[in-house]
Amino acid sequence: MKVTLTKPLKKYGWNWPAGKTVEVSNKFAAKLKKGGYLDALEKKEIKNKSIIKNQD
């Protein structure tokens, strides 16, 4: 799952700045979401869905 960090992550063996997009396992995505790192992901998913609808 591709996610974009809303704040820096220096945990779990990774060291990434805010704004970095990475492809992570579903479990890691859930962990990041729980930790408040993925607010932008939810917005992006909604945006993508609306784009698909417009194309239909």
Partner 1 sequence: MAQTAGIINSSSIRVFLGTTDDAEVVIDHVTECSISVSTDMRDITTKTSGGWRELLPGLKSSSLSLSGLFAEDATNGYNQLVDHQIAGDKLYIIFTNTGATAVGNAGDEQFDVIGYITSLEQTAGVEDNVGFSLSVEITGTVVREVIA
Rounded Cα distance, 10 and 44, in Å: 23
> Shortest approach of partner 1 to residue 53 CB, angstroms?
16
Q: Under a CB-based contact definition with an 8 Å cutoff, are residues 36 and 44 in contact?
A: no
Supply the DSSP symbol for 13: T
Binding mask 1-40 for partner 1 (x = CB under 8 A): xx--------xxxx-x---x-xxxxxxx-xx---------
Q: Under a CB-based contact definition with an 8 Å cutoff, are residues 8 and 17 in contact?
A: yes
> Shortest approach of partner 1 to residue 4 CB, angstroms?
13
Residues that bind partner 1 (CB under 8 A): 1-2, 11-14, 16, 20, 22-28, 30-31
